[in-house]
A and B are shown apart, each in its own frame.
Chain A
């Protein structure tokens, strides 16, 4: 009962008034029952009270309500009579404990445990969330169809109604069952197999095995599930406990807890020492490590924030003083040097002495050396100062040289010892080192020398080239890259040649060369007279024009004897410009084209020229005359024509000058050049002409509009570049260019419908899916409010957001 009350009071203290309102109404809170007691008792009580109240100092006058009145004082409610405090649960509690009260309690508990229910969302918002969820789900379902759609889109031909894809691969059992054993041996084997119910093929299991597998699996699953459940429950209990304990604020509790823990740890450690010394040692190491950390971090000194504040308080506050003391003590404990065990101390002392002696000797040696080298005094002083410190350190580390702190140990040890040892060795080693360094240096020097040599060579080369360069301007040679030696040498040779030519009478040379050149063709075959004649008439102007037309490197073309002559000419004309010669070499020459090296036919039958028909003779003669007189201007005319065509095809500049605008205008007054330049809109340069490098060709740049009307002018959808589209239409599909089968295949219609068949919409079964996807979809569409758990969760998440 009292426990009940306590619980109840607790409850009331914790809970809010609102929650009480939720209590069911069927249990009335009646106070009128108390009034039914008899008056005698009451009076007696009153008397007792008044007597007792006489003793008290601060007497409280409690108003007593004796009669019914309109005015009810709010202070007048008291728990008189019982002498106890009034608690709500008392009010709730009936005289007799009834079973219905338990239910109320339970409800109260539940109310306590439950959190507050949040406000429901807007209807629109809920609907939106529903829609979203439904959309996600349906789109997921529909995405199953993506591969089917893609396949159908890319299919060469679709035949409707869709026929089911035949199940091409029958299971192996069926095949095996269909096959009958032929030979007696096979029959025997099969008999054996069937008798034992052995699998005919390897991966199959016997029915017994299958059954056992099934039976096992269920049990196992159940057990496993139970285990998991238990583990989960345990975990949750533990977590809850930990959380509760963590929430406890009492310092005392925690102190006790800590002490308890420390004791426990000590006990454990002792136990561990007995049971497993190795593990105990490790534990010790850990402790040591903690101590070291402490020493490093200086956590428990009086420099922290807390410590400082406490230090200030310590004068006045005893507790603070104590806390500080405690802290310092702790620090001392933590930072005090660990003393070695008493047995090993003596040995250590000896060792330490030996070390010190050695060090002293070293020092003497060092000092001698120092005397020799005076310049390094300062450093030595510093070293001297350092040295007394070192042995202590060494000792300190050596004592606990159990590999605890290899970092410290190694460093100091090596520093201390090797530094000393090496210092006296240095005097011995130095010459060697010097030697080695010298040899190294030598090597380096050698290398450097070689490098230098190379550099010098290069420099000399460059100087030479520069000299060449200097020399060249005499001949007005300008080369672009002096680094390329070949070009230079070539140029030099050429220039020298030219100089020599200059010195000699160039004319004679040229003429002789020309005669030589002339002999060559003559030797090869008899050139027709027509060919020989025009050579002489070649003018420089034409050459220039050709140069302007652009150069082509086309070495396949047959060179002619005339070319050599031309080159000679070039040389003689522009004697100081051998570069031009090179340029000319690369160019197709119209002259070359027209007077290609050609050999006469050695045909057996030479046409008889005696009897010719009149008209042919006449025509030939006419044309002969024309050739005789117009051989040269054929080329000139052609070039002129070409130039005109080029000019005509060039985009025209737009001149927007208005004569007289902003200036005086009138007859004979021209707008200024500045104005004209300002208002001249230059047309953008078009693409290069197709015949740019072909001197003997004029290719019309005009578009064939009529043909263009038949070309494709719009790129269809998936193509982004016209080359892509062109690839797809480059294969001809007509029967003229293809074999019959290929033609039929290329012109196959994309969709074929069988006449007289109903074309039903595609079903999941048609493409090898199970029908579930479709039914899923229909469910969602019909009843979007019925959602799975997952979706509810999603919905909740959305609400939270």
Chain B
């Protein structure tokens, strides 16, 4: 296909003719430009009936090379400044690599909304340096997005076709074999409804049946790691930091198994556990129990960090906020409470439903929380400070289980049906108007989880386990150092050590994880006050006004006093003005709320 140009062929006048005859050698950059060009151009129409592409897709090379040559000539003409070098060759990409401003904005971390008091020159220089650093790092990060080669998959219907009508069988038919193999059903009718859990890398799957069946397998290769029957009711199952450890909430106590099915621990302080959550960066296993306790178990040292009494009866709904590691508990009085191990009381309590809360899920950005209640409603709440519902929908039977995918798809299990809703963009809440996909199962849903880094939704139900294909659910690019699905045993061990070294203390869990980057203003003030007390004066206080000495008799004692008084009066006036304004505000607030209700009002409907 490609030929190397002859060695003596770089004589300029001949070049044009050669180009017409022979194909130029392809360079490493040519691939990319064609890719982007293809992406930008309308390209192949997406009107094919079912254009479903699962994540692992590769650009087709056949037509790209053709297109490239077509698009090359204009670019050569465009190239702004041909730089001469010894060989006479030109740099086709002169100057620094381009980057998009929006992407850079995404990586900017400095909160510029806070107003700064006018800084001194020294301080200003520091601030300038900090801002320059931020910009540089964010530009670098934006440039490195080039390395995220994979694109998310998607599912698009024909004009007016509802994607929800597309069945799993159709999808499986359309996708490649490797992806098709990811859709499977495990018929396990014997041991009753299953709970399931994917490991953080998305490679392994553990499931536990109500009637004691516990198994773990590498679900991609379908290689079974262990399969045991614990001879006790299994309420929940969860992988710990790696696929080597497995926590199982059994009828009485919490048990921990390894991937061979050997029982390692029996944690008796966590009894009658109904739900399990693992906080990977803190190495905390959160357990919600029937007795109403939320217990945090540090699995790296095996200690119970905190046991909090929720004072709301039986806890059966729990989820974690992956953004800030706050635990969300759903209660039977329609409230959802947010917990951190450092606080004895809930950080926030939100009244979400009229009836009890049946399921809670939080998306990966920590912005949205989906709840479903016994009032058959499904609501999406905004978690950024206001805790107000963004959208709500009444479902015929109400959702018993909810799960968010990495890219913000929301799955709800209602009876034996699973519905999936998608949002418009990445960080947008799922729009509950039209379901993206629906699927009917052979049994009632008992557990739901999207598989990380794979477009797969795992559903545990009374008839076993179903692995559904959901195009566009997962993040297509994984961080090989953080959670590598293809890692070897050695790599896993390395990662384990690193992760343990970077373990975040449990007490740092709070609503705003960026609070650590803030100054503790209260203790700062306190320290200031104490210092002033100790010294007997406030060293930072403003020095009282001292009039400047003047000449020609204007610096007499009387005039000095007069000038001082002038300044003092000015300050005094300002103070009075301020207090008056405050009073006005208060008065406005305290306006009477209207006429007094009469005693007869009770009879009016």
Residues in B with CB closer than 8 Å to A45 are none
Nearest Cβ on chain A to B513's Cβ, whole angstroms: 10
Residue in A573, A577, A624, A711 whose CB lies within 8 Å of B518: A711
How many residues of chain A have a CB within 8 Å of chain B? Answer: 101
Bound Cα distance A630, B331 (Å):
13
Nearest Cβ on chain A to B429's Cβ, whole angstroms: 13
* A713 pairs with B349, CB closer than 8 A: no
Residues in A with CB closer than 8 Å to B518 are 711-712, 722, 726
* A698 pairs with B520, CB closer than 8 A: no
Closest residue on chain B to residue A699 by CB atoms: B348
Bound Cα distance A727, B385 (Å):
21
For A574-598 the 0/1 string (1 means CB < 8 A from B) is 1011011001000010100111111
For B111-129 the 0/1 string (1 means CB < 8 A from A) is 1001111011011011101
Nearest Cβ on chain B to A731's Cβ, whole angstroms: 5
Bound Cα distance A123, B537 (Å):
42
Residues in A with CB closer than 8 Å to B527 are 713-714
Closest residue on chain B to residue A612 by CB atoms: B444
For B281-311 the 0/1 string (1 means CB < 8 A from A) is 0000000000000000000000000000000
* A739 pairs with B462, CB closer than 8 A: no
* A713 pairs with B523, CB closer than 8 A: yes
Residues in B with CB closer than 8 Å to A504 are none
Residues in A with CB closer than 8 Å to B523 are 708, 711, 713
Residues in B with CB closer than 8 Å to A588 are 388
* B354 pairs with A595, CB closer than 8 A: yes
* B389 pairs with A728, CB closer than 8 A: no
Bound Cα distance A698, B351 (Å):
9
* A746 pairs with B356, CB closer than 8 A: no
User: With an 8 A cutoff between CB atoms, is B519 at the interface?
Assistant: yes
Closest residue on chain B to residue A581 by CB atoms: B594
Residue in B122, B352, B593 whose CB lies within 8 Å of A547: B593
Closest residue on chain A to residue B586 by CB atoms: A685
User: With an 8 A cutoff between CB atoms, is B346 at the interface?
Assistant: yes
User: With an 8 A cutoff between CB atoms, is A204 at the interface?
Assistant: no
User: With an 8 A cutoff between CB atoms, is B185 at the interface?
Assistant: no
User: With an 8 A cutoff between CB atoms, is A62 at the interface?
Assistant: no
For B312-349 the 0/1 string (1 means CB < 8 A from A) is 00000000000000000000111100001011011111
For B406-431 the 0/1 string (1 means CB < 8 A from A) is 00000000111101000000000000
Bound Cα distance A718, B597 (Å):
60
* Given A601-B396, A631-B355; A741-B519 close (CB under 8 Å): no
Residues in A with CB closer than 8 Å to B432 are 601
* A607 pairs with B417, CB closer than 8 A: yes
Residues in B with CB closer than 8 Å to A631 are 354-355
Residues in A with CB closer than 8 Å to B348 are 697-700
* B388 pairs with A554, CB closer than 8 A: yes
User: With an 8 A cutoff between CB atoms, is B193 at the interface?
Assistant: yes
How many residues of chain B have a CB within 8 Å of chain A? Answer: 103
Residues in A with CB closer than 8 Å to B509 are 707
Bound Cα distance A703, B122 (Å):
33
Closest residue on chain A to residue B353 by CB atoms: A594
User: With an 8 A cutoff between CB atoms, is A330 at the interface?
Assistant: no
Nearest Cβ on chain B to A714's Cβ, whole angstroms: 7
Q: Which of B120, B342, B375 has the most CB of A within 10 A?
A: B375
CB within 8 Å of B: which A696-741 residues: 696-700, 702-715, 718-732, 736, 738-739, 741
Residues in B with CB closer than 8 Å to A722 are 518-519, 521, 524
Closest residue on chain A to residue B479 by CB atoms: A736
CB within 8 Å of B: which A301-347 residues: none
User: With an 8 A cutoff between CB atoms, is A138 at the interface?
Assistant: no
Residue in A613, A696, A703, A742 whose CB lies within 8 Å of B193: A613
* A715 pairs with B524, CB closer than 8 A: yes
Residues in A with CB closer than 8 Å to B164 are 603-604
* A707 pairs with B354, CB closer than 8 A: no
Residues in B with CB closer than 8 Å to A597 are 392
User: With an 8 A cutoff between CB atoms, is A154 at the interface?
Assistant: yes
* A702 pairs with B394, CB closer than 8 A: no
Residue in B123, B129, B482, B601 whose CB lies within 8 Å of A540: B601
Residue in B385, B396, B510 whose CB lies within 8 Å of A607: B396
Nearest Cβ on chain A to B180's Cβ, whole angstroms: 22
Nearest Cβ on chain B to A596's Cβ, whole angstroms: 4
Bound Cα distance A711, B356 (Å):
38
User: With an 8 A cutoff between CB atoms, is B435 at the interface?
Assistant: yes
Closest residue on chain B to residue A533 by CB atoms: B354
User: With an 8 A cutoff between CB atoms, is B66 at the interface?
Assistant: no
User: With an 8 A cutoff between CB atoms, is A544 at the interface?
Assistant: yes
User: With an 8 A cutoff between CB atoms, is B440 at the interface?
Assistant: yes
User: With an 8 A cutoff between CB atoms, is B14 at the interface?
Assistant: no
Bound Cα distance A731, B440 (Å):
47
Identify which of B27-35, B54-62, B130-138, B566-574 touches chain A: B130-138
* B137 pairs with A738, CB closer than 8 A: yes
Residue in B347, B440, B482 whose CB lies within 8 Å of A699: B347
* A534 pairs with B396, CB closer than 8 A: no
Residue in B334, B351, B356, B438 whose CB lies within 8 Å of A605: B438
Residue in B111, B165, B597 whose CB lies within 8 Å of A730: B111
Residues in B with CB closer than 8 Å to A154 are 125, 129
User: With an 8 A cutoff between CB atoms, is B144 at the interface?
Assistant: yes
Closest residue on chain B to residue A628 by CB atoms: B355
Bound Cα distance A609, B519 (Å):
55
* B122 pairs with A718, CB closer than 8 A: yes
Bound Cα distance A215, B579 (Å):
80
* B120 pairs with A718, CB closer than 8 A: yes
Bound Cα distance A506, B591 (Å):
29
Nearest Cβ on chain A to B133's Cβ, whole angstroms: 6
Identify which of A32-40, A433-441, A632-640, A783-791 touches chain B: A632-640
Nearest Cβ on chain A to B409's Cβ, whole angstroms: 15
User: With an 8 A cutoff between CB atoms, is B97 at the interface?
Assistant: no
* B594 pairs with A577, CB closer than 8 A: yes
* B354 pairs with A634, CB closer than 8 A: yes
Bound Cα distance A576, B598 (Å):
12
Nearest Cβ on chain A to B93's Cβ, whole angstroms: 19
Bound Cα distance A727, B482 (Å):
28
Nearest Cβ on chain A to B463's Cβ, whole angstroms: 11
Residue in A574, A595, A711, A724 whose CB lies within 8 Å of B594: A574
Residues in A with CB closer than 8 Å to B524 are 713-715, 722
For B59-87 the 0/1 string (1 means CB < 8 A from A) is 00000000000000000000000000000
User: With an 8 A cutoff between CB atoms, is B377 at the interface?
Assistant: yes
For A198-223 the 0/1 string (1 means CB < 8 A from B) is 00000000000000000000000000
* A528 pairs with B375, CB closer than 8 A: yes
Bound Cα distance A780, B376 (Å):
92
* B387 pairs with A696, CB closer than 8 A: yes
User: With an 8 A cutoff between CB atoms, is A476 at the interface?
Assistant: yes
User: With an 8 A cutoff between CB atoms, is A530 at the interface?
Assistant: yes
Residues in B with CB closer than 8 Å to A721 are 116-117
* B516 pairs with A711, CB closer than 8 A: yes
Nearest Cβ on chain A to B36's Cβ, whole angstroms: 21
* A694 pairs with B510, CB closer than 8 A: no
* Given A603-B419, A606-B417, A607-B417; A613-B462 close (CB under 8 Å): yes
User: With an 8 A cutoff between CB atoms, is B109 at the interface?
Assistant: yes
CB within 8 Å of B: which A196-255 residues: none
User: With an 8 A cutoff between CB atoms, is A651 at the interface?
Assistant: no
Nearest Cβ on chain B to A727's Cβ, whole angstroms: 6
* A530 pairs with B444, CB closer than 8 A: no
Bound Cα distance A609, B376 (Å):
14
CB within 8 Å of B: which A731-780 residues: 731-732, 736, 738-739, 741-742, 745-746
Besides the contacts A531-B375, A698-B349, A729-B517, what 17 more A-B pairs have beta carbons closer than 8 Å?
Answer: A531-B354, A540-B601, A593-B388, A594-B352, A600-B396, A606-B397, A613-B193, A613-B462, A620-B374, A634-B355, A694-B386, A711-B516, A720-B123, A721-B117, A727-B110, A728-B129, A728-B130
What are 10 sample pairs from A and B whose C-beta atoms fall under 8 A apart?
A573-B597, A601-B394, A634-B355, A637-B333, A709-B507, A713-B520, A720-B120, A720-B123, A724-B117, A730-B109
7 closest residue pairs by CB, A with B? A607-B415, A706-B507, A627-B355, A722-B519, A711-B520, A598-B394, A596-B392
